[in-house]
Amino acid sequence: MSTAELKKQISEGIPSELPVAKPYDSNINHAPKRKDILNGAEKRLAVKNALRYFPVKFHPVLAKEFALELKEYGRIYMYRFRPDYEIKARYLDDFPYRSRSAASIMLMISNNLDNSVAQHPHELITYGGNGAVFQNWAQYRITMKYLSEMTDEQTLVVYSGHPLGLFPSHKDSPRLVVTNGMVIPNYSSQDHWEKFNALGVSQYGQMTAGSYMYIGPQGIVHGTAITLLNAGRMISKSGEGLSGKLFVSSGLGGMSGAQPKAAGIAGIISVIAEVNPLAIKTRYSQGWVDEVYSDIDKLVKRVRQAKSDNEVTSIAYEGNIVDIWEKFADENINVDLGSDQTSLHNPWAGGYYPAGLSFEESNQMMSADPEKFKESVRKSLVRQVDAINRHTKKGTYFFDYGNAFLLEASRAGADILKSDGEFRYPSYVQDIMGPMCFDYGFGPFRWVCCSNDPADLEVTDKIAAKCLEKLVKNSPDQIKQQMDDNIKWIKEAGRNRLVVGSQARILYADAEGRIAIAEAFNNAVARGKISAPIVIGRDHHDVSGTDSPYRETSNIYDGSKFTADMAVQNVIGDSFRGATWVSLHNGGGVGWGEVINGGFGMVLDGTSAARKKLRMMLHWDVNNGIARRSWARNKGAMFALKREMDRTPGLKVTVPYIADDEVIDEAMRLF
């Protein structure tokens, strides 16, 4: 297709003639059928809602078609309106635009829906089973049309995938403001999501799905590698490292698929169970996992050999994770690090496959007999925890990987609580990510080259490495390890072939590092050393971006971990400090109603305006969270905040006085 034709189709919006209906493509990984949750009147409302996007002349055909989709899939995706062109990240100028910032947003949306990037591309789901970019194809089409025609004096407003419209604003305001799944707090249960989503009025945006900031599994490869390295430092008491050690987990999906690759980078043997053969095929064909086994006895033999040879290999097991934990316990295979990355934020609709049922049986049961399916999930979680407990008694370090495993296992009645009611195992943020990274401002900074050219990515890698190498010379001891890990990561990133989709890179940096790197990129764009603008952003899973009591803010111990002021303030603050787009979500990682999170995107186009904005916005975007973590008395954050106040005029943050426990004990005698 010529570029002119592509531009025409992207900016078309809803076509004036009905496109030909599209056959269901079974070569693509599809979302499972969703629960039949609406009553008769609500089903009627869902169809009526869907028809709002189309001229009345289409209604007789579409009303029946949409009713059928609702019946067959539990949702109205409007498959007929899926475009004919290939959706993927492209060179910025291949998109139709009047505003370059709007074109960069199109690039990011397109990457999130790329068949080789998205988990269920035809259902507009990027990752995590239900992490939606849009609810249906009409929303996609209208959004792309608006973006193609908007100017730098308008702002596009998107409510849970629905493009509310273009509103006049000004050139320094965000070009796009997105909210996902924001509901009245009392209406935030899992079933509320099912219902509102089936009605077409709300969606689960996960974190970077609904904010268009997903960069494929690379994002999580880095976080997982950092987590495994630091977990390894914790368990290798005499500094023996990870050689010959074993990591066991589950999931080769959107995010979880990064585990074997990250384990390889960290230098530990990994066994990852996955029930979906298509997910295994994808990761194996990408070279992210080295070997695949479906025979558990052969797997046991292979693992024994790898351990005794101190070999680093990553192995996918086609089957249920429960079987692995039980078998390895029976066979006395020592597991050093253990976790789980099934999608337990979405336990009843395909996020977790219970042991004892085949993949197909589960898919059928979850919609045909949801109560029986729920019971099977609960029983499976109880079995899984029993087996994990057998391992941890022998020394396995098990941690929750931000997928609501501990929460759902406890709700299922598994033996996962200590006598004081706390979880038996830590979340990876409590032990590792929180105190070692977030409290010091280190989080998942990322960028995307709008040229879509690997050569530009190579230049950015070099620039980023140079910036960090300069900064590390003056880094205090508390953050030296983080700086060194990230310098090593960025120097090896190109060789590790991490790109899937857009030309993107991630590394962990604090405010100082992020600002230095972004400024250097902006200068390089201005001087033509990088051929097109760079989009910077981050995962919501960051220092300030997410309030989530069992994950990002699980190491907040002043009682405020159930508040969400930080995440909401963060988005508001980013929006008036220069972000190109911002988004605020209910749900992400651990489930609807369990987390509030937000993110931003910012276009660096080489101008002095971009320089001013990046300095202002990145500083707030990190230090908001450090200030909150410091107020919660987190030692690392108190240190980082003091350092920041010393060097930043105008930054005055309320710092806590630390009460002496004896003084409080004395006062407590009054009760």
Ligand X SMILES: NC(=O)c1ccc[n+]([C@@H]2O[C@H](COP(=O)([O-])OP(=O)(O)OC[C@H]3O[C@@H](n4cnc5c(N)ncnc54)[C@H](O)[C@@H]3O)[C@@H](O)[C@H]2O)c1
Name the residues that contact ligand X, by CB under 6 A.
Answer: 119, 127-129, 220, 223, 250-256, 273-276, 279, 320-321, 341-345, 351-353, 401-403, 541, 589
In the DSSP assignment, the letter for residue 80 is: G
Residue 428: CB minimum distance to ligand X, A? 7
Nearest 5°: the CA angle 48, 51, 54 is 160
Q: What is the CA radius of gyration of the chain?
A: 24
CA distances from 74 to 115, 118, 213 (A): 22, 20, 27
Q: State which residue, 321 or 387, has the beta carbon closest to ligand X.
A: 321
Q: State which residue, 179 or 341, has the beta carbon closest to ligand X.
A: 341
Helix (H) or strand (E) holding 508, with range, is: strand 504-509
User: Count of alpha carbons within 13 Å of 640, Cβ hemisphere only?
Assistant: 32
Measured distance CA(550)–CA(564) in Å, rounded: 13
Amino acid at 250: S
Q: 3-state SS string over 437-492? A: CHHHCCEEEEEEECCCCHHHHHHHHHHHHHHHHHHHCCCCHHHHHHHHHHHHHHHH
Q: State which residue, 112 or 343, has the beta carbon closest to ligand X.
A: 343
Q: State which residue, 335 or 471, has the beta carbon closest to ligand X.
A: 335
Residue 219: CB minimum distance to ligand X, A? 8
Instruction: Name the one residue in this structure whose structure tokens are 């908001």.
Output: 624
Residue 317: CB minimum distance to ligand X, A? 8
Q: State which residue, 163 or 351, has the beta carbon closest to ligand X.
A: 351
Q: State which residue, 259 or 522, has the beta carbon closest to ligand X.
A: 259
Q: Where are the alpha helices (DSSP H) in 331-430?
A: 359-368, 370-393, 405-411, 428
Q: State which residue, 91 or 359, has the beta carbon closest to ligand X.
A: 359
Helix (H) or strand (E) holding 617, with range, is: helix 608-631
Q: State which residue, 274 or 439, has the beta carbon closest to ligand X.
A: 274
Residue 272: CB minimum distance to ligand X, A? 8
Q: State which residue, 283 or 577, has the beta carbon closest to ligand X.
A: 283
Query: Strand, coil or helix: what is 42?
Result: helix
Q: State which residue, 96 or 251, has the beta carbon closest to ligand X.
A: 251
Residue 249: CB minimum distance to ligand X, A? 9
Amino acid at 318: E
Helix (H) or strand (E) holding 190, with range, is: helix 190-199
Amino acid at 404: A
Q: State which residue, 345 or 613, has the beta carbon closest to ligand X.
A: 345
In the DSSP assignment, the letter for residue 559 is: S
Tokens of 536: 């910077």
User: Count of alpha carbons within 13 Å of 650, Cβ hemisphere only?
Assistant: 4
Q: State which residue, 407 or 465, has the beta carbon closest to ligand X.
A: 407
Residue 432: CB minimum distance to ligand X, A? 11
Q: Are strands 504-509 and 269-274 parallel, antiparallel or unpaired?
A: unpaired
Q: State which residue, 97 or 399, has the beta carbon closest to ligand X.
A: 399
Residue 619: CB minimum distance to ligand X, A? 25
Q: State which residue, 253 or 441, has the beta carbon closest to ligand X.
A: 253
Residue 273: CB minimum distance to ligand X, A? 4
Q: Other C-beta atoms within 10 Å of 516: how many? A: 19
Query: Strand, coil or helix: what is 164?
Result: strand
Residue 216: CB minimum distance to ligand X, A? 11
Tokens of 12: 């078309």
Nearest 5°: the CA angle 107, 206, 164 is 60
Q: Which of 12, 121, 22 has its CA nearest to residue 65?
A: 22
Residue 112: CB minimum distance to ligand X, A? 13
Measured distance CA(448)–CA(537) in Å, rounded: 9
Beta-strand (E) ranges in 96-224? 125-127, 131-132, 154-159, 162-168, 176-180
Measured distance CA(308)–CA(304) in Å, rounded: 6
Residue 318: CB minimum distance to ligand X, A? 9
Contact 448, 110 (CB under 8 A): no
Q: Are strands 176-180 and 581-586 parallel, antiparallel or unpaired?
A: parallel
Q: Residue with CB nearest ligand X?
A: 253
Residue 220: CB minimum distance to ligand X, A? 5
Q: Other C-beta atoms within 10 Å of 42: how many? A: 13
Phi/psi of residue 443, nearest 5 degrees? -160, 175
Tokens of 348: 């009843």
Q: State which residue, 342 or 503, has the beta carbon closest to ligand X.
A: 342
Q: Where are the alpha helices (DSSP H) in 122-173?
A: 137-149
Measured distance CA(307)–CA(312) in Å, rounded: 9
Q: State which residue, 96 or 129, has the beta carbon closest to ligand X.
A: 129
Q: Which of 391, 501, 394, 606 has its CA nearest to residue 109?
A: 501
